[in-house]
Amino acid sequence: MRMYDLIMKKRNGGTLTKEELRFMISHYTDGHIPDYQMSAMMMAIFFRGMNEEETLQLTMAMAESGDMLDLSDINGIKVDKHSTGGVGDKTSLALTPMVAACGIPVAKMSGRGLGHTGGTIDKLESFPGFSTSISTEQFKRQVNEIGLAIMGQTKDLAPADKKLYALRDVTATVDNISLIASSIMSKKLASGADAIVLDVKTGSGAFMKKETDSFALAKEMVKIGNGAGRKTCAVISDMDQPLGNAVGNIIEVREAIDTLMGKGPDDFVELCLTLGAEMVVAGKKASDSDAAKEMLLQKIKTGEALNKLACFVKAQGGDPRYVYEPDRFRYANITDTVFSQNEGWVSHIDCDEIGICSLLLGGGRETKESEIDLSVGLYLHKKVGDHVNPKEPVVTFYASDEKKLNAAKERFQHAFHISESKPASSKLIKGIIYE
Ligand code: URA
């Protein structure tokens, strides 16, 4: 088999077989196929596309290019959750203890990632002492003992995807739905869960800006997951404004804790219940999503979900007192609140721009080497559709540097819009895909 022939086949609109895709991925991972040939192949796929079977086989080949985590010694149906990411997305922090409190074993691998704020791992490191650098043995033992563990992605998780994603990033071949779906799902399949619930974001702060693209991506990922024998569904959720009110790291952790204390913002609570219900049903702890939502709400009311978070933080070396006394968390020392000048309704919040405000404050990573300031962030007092009176607070910034604060404030002015009329309401949950 020669890579040259495979490139030609795809360039001419042919269909690659399982053997050809496996040859391509294994020889690319071990360095025998050079980047220039793989770039040509990615561009051929970009223009010619892949059918369902090709997409599944490419995903399986990438998933199997490194370690496939075996979670069979954890009792019960293991359910994983993945979000395509967005501004203020602290969902895993609240959702995983809620679901674990319902008796679903949650064994989750998370990343740091680049972006407006840190990833789940960075946010968890807001708890002093917390570590996600745990062995696979501790990871599995902890899930069996307390029902929840989160570890950093191992180096050998889908290495083919790591190499290929870096290549796509510099060859203008990222934004192809089949390639994105296989990239994300290869890591999920290698992470070993029996069932997967995906949160596919849509809107100005999402990777996929258009709803039709988000649905198409969701469908491809669900087909891959189910095709690989893992029960998979996808919730398509709004990211046209930040999720909840808090954007940053420590500030998002606090909002997640508030949520587990029964004081969460409506949109965030709705998303956690929707995703949580799918996880609880997939884990066979409830027969339908209404019963599952009721169960999840009970776990908040009784404090079991909050206790689960404390137990999890403690098991991974963190200080559980921060869970029960979140005032222990320290924000950056400059606090600045912006007040509204006019009366009106919040008509639009440019979500991506709000993310950039957080980045400007130092709350996110521009390159893999950037340091994150966990203590900075912003709190939106008003969301789209809210009424605003003159002199009411609109946003509070937490900054550690005046210059960075001013840059974020300047950017915010162009991102937050108040109009005289109430905007049409828009749904948080756009749909759920099961097949
Ligand atoms: N995230 C991924 O992991 N892969 C892609 O291709 C795009 C986003």
221-255: pLDDT as tens digits: 999 999 999 999 999 999 999 999 999 999 999 99
Q: Which pLDDT score is estimated for 117?
A: 81
Give ligand 1 pocket residues (Cβ under 6 A): 165, 174, 179-180, 183-184, 207
pLDDT tier for residue 366 given thresholds of 50, 70 and 90: confident
Per-residue model confidence (pLDDT) at position 365: 87
- Model pLDDT, residue 50: 97
Cα(161) to ligand 1 centroid in Å equals 9
Catalytic residue set: 82, 161, 168, 183, 187
pLDDT at 206: 92
Per-residue pLDDT at 368 exceeds 90:
no
Q: Tell me how crowded residue 75 is: count the other CB atoms within 10 A of its CB.
A: 10
Q: How confident is the model at residue 369 (pLDDT cuts 50, 70, 90)?
A: confident
Nearest CA to ligand 1 atom 5: 180
In this prediction the pTM is: 0.95
pLDDT at 113 over 80: no
Query: Of 3-7, 102-106, 366-370, 404-408, where does mean pLDDT reach its minimum?
Result: 366-370
In the chain, % of residues over pLDDT 90: 93
Q: For ligand 1, what atom is nearest to the CA of residue 179?
A: 6
CA nearest ligand 1 atom 6, residue: 180
Q: Tell me how far the alpha carbon of residue 207 lies from the centroid of ligand 1, in angstroms.
A: 9
248-277: average pLDDT: 98
Which residue among 45, 110, 177, 183 is best mutated to probe the pocket of ligand 1, counting the most ligand atoms within 8 A of its Cβ? 183
Confidence (pLDDT) at 24: 98
Is the pLDDT at 321 greater than 90, yes or no?
yes
Determine the residue of 58, 184, 221 to mutate for testing ligand 1's pocket, defined as the one with the most ligand atoms within 8 A of the Cβ atom.
184
Residue among 153, 167, 174 whose CB has most ligand 1 atoms within 8 A, to mutate: 174
pLDDT digits (tens, 9 = 90+) for 11-30: 999 999 999 999 999 999 99
Determine the pLDDT at residue 153.
84
Beta carbons within 8 Å of 291's beta carbon, 6+ residues apart: none
Average pLDDT, the chain: 95
Q: Mean pLDDT throughout 175-198? A: 96
Q: Would you say residue 169 has pLDDT above 80?
A: yes
